[in-house]
Amino acid sequence: MGIKTDAVGKEWPATTYEVGKEKIGEYARVIGIDNPVHFDREAARAAGFRDVVAPPMFVVVYASPAIGPALFDDEVAMNFAAMVHGSQEFEWDEPAVVGDEITTTAKCREIFEKDGKGFYVFETNSVNQNGDQVVRGTWTNIVRGV
């Protein structure tokens, strides 16, 4: 069986996302989070945040433009029809707040085959405009029948 591993180690161009207040509110409402620090500037500042703060999982919004091209890369060559999102990990540091410009890079860490399935492991790293570490992500997709 020959799973293509040419893309291991490949990095994709960094993307930068500017965090907006209404986008944070939209995300928080869909998840059902009602803490006012996600909607109200005064509440956020009173709680010690620089501005209205994003819920941790808002990372999917600002990291997606970086991970998307990696997933669809011809060199990675994932078979989407047989793909599932297998696992996901995030490690957070500095919270993302309104006005932050968050730059994310994506890299292919591993591609391997196990029990007839292909495992495609990507990592993202997001930092803000001050160079502060925001979040690291590990994204694992599994393709059946490789």
Among the listed residues 19, 4, 1, 6, the one whose alpha carbon sits nearest the alpha carbon of residue 103: 19
The DSSP symbol for 97 reads B
Residue 143 engages other proteins in binding (rule: CB under 8 A): no
Question: Cβ of residue 130: shortest distance to other proteins, in angstroms?
Answer: 17
Residues composing the chain = 146
CA distances from 63 to 2, 66, 80, 104, 134 (A): 30, 5, 20, 6, 11
Q: According to CB under 8 A, which one of 32, 74, 115, 131 is a site residue for other proteins? A: 32
Is 60 an interacting residue with respect to other proteins (CB under 8 A)? yes
- Selected from 7, 19, 37, 121, the binder of other proteins by CB under 8 A is 37
**Residues whose CB falls within 8 Å of the CB of residue 33, separated by 6 or more in sequence, listed in order:** 55
Residue 99 in contact with other proteins, rule: CB under 8 A: no
Instruction: Enter the tokens of residue 135.
Output: 């979040």
Q: Which of 46, 72, 84, 132 is close enough to bind other proteins by CB under 8 A?
A: 84
Does 38 contact other proteins by CB under 8 A?
yes
Q: Does 87 bind other proteins (CB under 8 A)?
A: yes
From the list 40, 55, 77, 107, which residue makes contact with other proteins (rule: CB under 8 A)?
A: 55
Distance CA(100)–CA(23), nearest Å, equals 13
Asked whether the beta carbons of 62 and 115 are under 8 A apart, the reply is no
Asked if 118 interacts with other proteins (CB under 8 A), we say no
The residues that touch other proteins, with contacts defined as CB under 8 A, are: 23, 26-27, 29-33, 35, 37-38, 47, 53-57, 60-61, 64-65, 81, 84-92, 95
